[in-house]
Chains A and B, each alone.
Chain A
Amino acid sequence: MQSCILYLLKCLSICLLSISLPAQALTVVQKIPTLSLTAEANYMAGEQGKPAVLILHGFLTTNQFHTITSIANFLQSEGFTTLAPTLTLNISQRRNLLKCNSLHTHTMARDSIEIEHWVQWLHAQGHDKIILIGHSSGSLGVLEYLTTHPNSPASGAIFTSLFYLNAPELGILDDEVESARMLLKNRINKPSTYHFLFCNNQYYATPQSFLSYLKMDRSYTLKALNQLTIPSYTIMGGADKRFKKVGLNWLNALESTQTNLIVIEGANHFFSNEYEFDVQDTLLQILTSPPLKEPES
């Protein structure tokens, strides 16, 4: 009951803020020369002194995904500068969700390049303190970026709904992986359908693309978390259905890393409904408080 009243109050406050903050987010279009692609991101400048937050969407979605827009809008309302790019997934100025059966040629590495480009862009805009927020596989993208770009100007990372991608319990089939690897080895980059995440035998991708994401297995992820040089937080929904596949011990595994694990009990993978505000509160608290855990230097 109390949470319901609180939810209503927050809704009201957001509406009022929306009215009082007529500023519109800008669509920033950027050519990424190394990728020969043009990418887009929604940018909203915040208050001076507050960190700029890059919010990265999850698997195959865009910056218009409701979890992302919810976080971005909230942070903007709190005076934070936000930048929500849409990963091109090898489609310039991609606007729409990619389907499982869309042709997937994008790779984790190319995603990292795009993230780097946006981080640098933020930095170039004069934002010294840049916090990276990822949702779901976007969290893995941020994690891989931070892993592969140790000199990133980002000063902190917040991972939401962080899982790993490659594991039999997640539906990855060994023979498919082996087949992809063989194709790649033979330089046959012919697209095929794979079992990947929620795309059961529908994920239509090149072997290179498919295998690039399988890099993010359980151990690699945990290891990457531990290797981060900046403070990180991980916010997990206590009722995320993925726990049915990966097991709740994933929380323990996360707990065991450097990341500051926050579990919002009852929340699902997308922090929908009233849990949207819980995650917002958590994010606000994280962004306005000193880190609980400092990375080991």
Chain B
Amino acid sequence: MSLKSYLIQPVKVYFTALLIIGLLMLALLIGNLYYQTQSIQTSLQQKNQQQAQEEMSFALEENIINLTSNLLELAEWDEIRQQIEDPTYYYFWHEDRLKDSPYFKNHYTQLEIYDDKKWLLMPPTTDNSSDDRLPLHIANEEPTVIFTSEKEAFLHMFEPVFEPNSKTILGYIGISVALHQNLLTEHEFAFVNPDSIRFIGTKPITLSELGYYVEFDPITNSVSNDLWQLINHFTAYVIILLIISTVLIVILFQMLFSGPMQTLSNYIHQLKKNPKDAIEITQEHFLIKEFEELKHSIHDYHRDLQTTQHALQTQYKLVWEQARRDALTNIYNRRAFDEAWNELVATFEYNPSNITFILFDCDFFKALNDTYGHEVGDDVIRITAKTIQKSLASEYPVYRIGGDEFAIILTKIALHEAFGIAKKCLKSLKKYNFSGIGIKEKLAFSVGISHLEHQMSKNLRDDLLNLPRQADIAMYKAKQSHQQKIQCYKSQLEQESLSLVSSQVINTIVDAIHTGQYINMHLQAIHSVNSDTLYYESLIRIQKEDLLIYPSDIFSVVERRRLEVEMDTQIIQQMLNAFQSNLIPQNTGVSINISGKTLLQPQFTELFQPFIPYLKDYKIVIEIIENTLIDHMEYAKTVLNTLRKQGFLIALDDFGSGYSSIRYLAHMPVDIVKFDMSMTLALDADEKTKNIIFATAKMVRNSGYDLVLEGVETEDMLEKAKQAGATHIQGYLLGKPKSIPSFT
């Protein structure tokens, strides 16, 4: 299961998230409890309000009934009639009798008797101007509620006084009732807060409207209030507890987990940043045993890792040295040179300086090798390496980059200094007495120098990359001279070597080699002698418009410019395209020529990997020239056998053109030997030469190789080739090279 990258977060983030989620859930729970309680509280308050409303309505209604009843009793009281009939002593009666009688209630603020015309029986004894006083005349018998500016309400009620057993009205009685006092004295309120009762009217109203003008608060439910208070306290306690718990959890988390993890993380980070340093274990102690153990484990693991790493580094150094040391001379080999050169190239732009490239080569070394044997040859190589190294400061290593080719890279010195160094080395070599190893001839060495004055360079990188080739050119020049064995590269050296080729041809060749344009691969048939099968040798041509350039010119330019690898790469690519485009006839095959330089490239075998699918239908032959193979026999064996195992065939090209050593013949990593054209032509030479050719051909055949004779141009030569034992014949007689497109 793939894990999203954003899910990978520090433990603090997850802890905080979990803490927040936990707190949110608790807050939700408490909030819900609070909300539910509040709902109950609100519901109770509403119920209280409703009950209070009902109670108030009931109280008002009951009061009115009681007041009406009292009023009716009053109307039937004999003494009322007594006063109506004879009000002589009304004031006395009113003041001394009435208020002591059970008919007069405490909440009556006034009780007056009116005559049958509804006028007060007697003028009022007290100030009658205030609003709450009963009127002098009854305008309306309906009960009326009067409000005073003091927010008090008075109910004025009137009742006719009838003659006993008659409907004759003798008069009226009127009462003024202090409603607030009346409500308080007549009722024990269970739901209405008596102190909160207030009347809000201003103008007189009828009794039926009274309900709208009375305001009150319900008695708060003490149980509910206590519960509500309890919930509030509980909520507050829980919140405080949560805060304290959260702080404690955070502190504990920090102490127990986050702190140790951070410390360990920092420790690991330090180890990661400084893997080679011995970092002391933190002195901090953790409360959790596992962290404490982990701390020691990490420390111990790192210590062990360092020990192992140290051992590995030592081992690696050894291996590295071994891989970069030439077994014969114990100086740095080609691999070491490539790495040093690549590093120089990589860092040069950032740290440019004068660079001098010096090549040493032993003249006629192959001949020497063949003459005195490989042991002596090897001694020559060893001595040469040792002598050059001795002549150099220790900071400048000598690299063996080829069989008898040595290279030195000098930095930060001027050309004349480099020249002096080269001269010193050459002088030492000249001085050396090679007769001690049995060499009678005087050995000659050629030295090629190329130099880059970085302050003069316009293109540092390209100029640097050109140094090996330029040194090679200079050395080539030195080889041609008997006196000037040290040559410094100058541009005219290139001109000299290419003087026979026109600049147009050169440009076309170089362009073609670099871009692949204008290359027109040709195929020349190689026929089997014993069967009808054939395969083709791929031959390079470069054609730009009407200009057709042949291999002699191409190789001349490529060799002088050291473009062998580039050219081989283009040829391989062209042939791969031919296969991919089905331009190669079925049941045939192709042989591809490869230079020594390409063979020595680390990625050589990879160049042929794209051809593997075609091996089952085609014969694919890689042609290596004799000198290359013999010069790098051990390395070539490894590389070529790898390709052979994959199904490729290896052909030894131009056999007999160099210093072919018969002793290698039995162990060469090849399947086919191609005689150099000079050997084919030698079949027409004298008998002795012819016999040597025949004997050589026989040896080749007896060694189990196929034998190809090229350059067969006549029937006579064909016959002789067959007699010599050739398994395959190549030559104009059997077919000239043809452009690949012509095969389609």
Contact = CB atoms under 8 A, between A and B. Distances in A.
A241 to B, nearest CB: 27
Contacts of A40: 164
Interface string B152-181: 000000000001110000000000000000
Nearest to B82: A91
Contact of A29 (B88, B96, B165): B165
Contact of A102 (B85, B86, B97): B97
Interface string A196-207: 000000001010
Given A91-B79, A92-B163, A101-B97, A36 B89 contact: no
Given A27-B165, A103-B92, A191-B89, A96 B97 contact: no
A95 interface: yes
A245 B163 CA distance: 41
Interface in B315-332: none
Given A96-B78, A103-B82, A204 B165 contact: no
B461 to A, nearest CB: 138
A206 B100 contact: no
B85 A101 contact: no
A68 B165 CA distance: 22
B163 A93 contact: yes
A9 to B, nearest CB: 38
A190 interface: yes
A105 B86 contact: yes
A185 interface: no
Contact of B88 (A93, A95, A101, A105): A105
Contact of A91 (B78, B89, B92, B101): B78
B70 to A, nearest CB: 16
A191 B96 CA distance: 9
What's the interface size class on A, roughly? 20 to 34
A206 B86 CA distance: 13
Interface string B501-522: 0000000000000000000000
B92 to A, nearest CB: 5
Contact of B92 (A36, A95, A190): A190
A293 interface: no
A103 B100 CA distance: 12
B77 A36 contact: no
Given A92-B163, A93-B164, A93-B165, A103 B79 contact: yes
Given A99-B101, A105-B86, A105-B88, A91 B81 contact: yes
A103 B93 contact: yes
Q: Which of B76, B77, B81, B83 has the most CB of A within 10 A?
A: B81
A94 interface: yes
Contacts of B101: 99, 101-102
Contacts of A96: 77-78
Interface string A31-68: 00000111010000000000000000000000000000
A90 interface: yes
B79 to A, nearest CB: 6
Interface in B59-89: 76-79, 81-83, 85-86, 88-89
Contacts, number: 66
Contacts of B79: 91, 98, 102-103
A152 to B, nearest CB: 27
A33 to B, nearest CB: 14
| Residue of A29, A91, A93, A105 with most partner-chain B CB within 10 A | A91
Contacts of A206: 89
Interface in A69-97: 90-96
Contacts of A99: 101
Contacts of B85: 36-37, 90-92
Contacts of A93: 81, 163-165
A174 to B, nearest CB: 23
A102 B97 CA distance: 6
A191 B83 CA distance: 14
A254 B177 CA distance: 55
Contacts of B76: 95
A293 to B, nearest CB: 39
Nearest to B84: A92
A193 B96 CA distance: 10
Contacts of A36: 85
Interface residues of A, dominant DSSP: loop
A260 to B, nearest CB: 36
Nearest to A40: B164
A204 B79 CA distance: 13
B96 A204 contact: yes
Interface in A83-131: 90-96, 98-99, 101-103, 105
Contact of B78 (A98, A101, A193): A98
A190 B163 CA distance: 27
Contacts of A105: 82, 86, 88-89
A189 B88 CA distance: 10
A37 B93 CA distance: 19
A95 B97 contact: no
Interface string B576-589: 00000000000000
A226 to B, nearest CB: 36
Contacts of B83: 103
Contacts of A101: 96-97, 100-101
Interface in B125-139: none
A206 B93 CA distance: 11
A103 B82 CA distance: 9
Interface in B199-218: none
Nearest to B92: A191
Contacts of A90: 82, 85-86
Contacts of A92: 81-82, 85, 163-164
B96 to A, nearest CB: 6
B88 to A, nearest CB: 7
Interface in A128-148: none
A29 B163 CA distance: 11
A105 B88 CA distance: 10
Nearest to A99: B101
A103 B101 CA distance: 11
Contacts of B96: 101, 103, 191, 193, 204
A102 B81 CA distance: 13
Nearest to A95: B78
A50 to B, nearest CB: 29
A105 B93 CA distance: 11
A240 to B, nearest CB: 29
A38 B78 CA distance: 12
Nearest to B164: A93
A190 B77 CA distance: 22
A204 B97 contact: yes
A53 B437 CA distance: 194
Nearest to A38: B163
A92 B83 CA distance: 10
Contacts of B78: 91, 94-96, 98
A27 B165 CA distance: 10
Interface string A5-38: 0000000000000000000000101000000111
A90 B85 CA distance: 9
Interface in B89-130: 89, 92-93, 96-97, 100-101
B97 to A, nearest CB: 5
Nearest to A29: B165
A98 B165 CA distance: 20
Given A95-B76, A102-B79, 18 more contacts: A38-B163, A90-B82, A91-B85, A92-B85, A92-B164, A93-B163, A96-B77, A101-B96, A101-B100, A103-B79, A103-B82, A103-B89, A103-B93, A105-B86, A105-B88, A190-B92, A191-B93, A193-B96
5 contacts: A103-B82, A103-B93, A103-B96, A189-B89, A204-B97
Interface of A: 27, 29, 36-38, 40, 90-96, 98-99, 101-103, 105, 189-191, 193, 204, 206
Interface of B: 76-79, 81-83, 85-86, 88-89, 92-93, 96-97, 100-101, 163-165
In order of increasing CB-CB distance, the 4 nearest A-B pairs are A93-B164, A91-B82, A103-B93, A91-B78
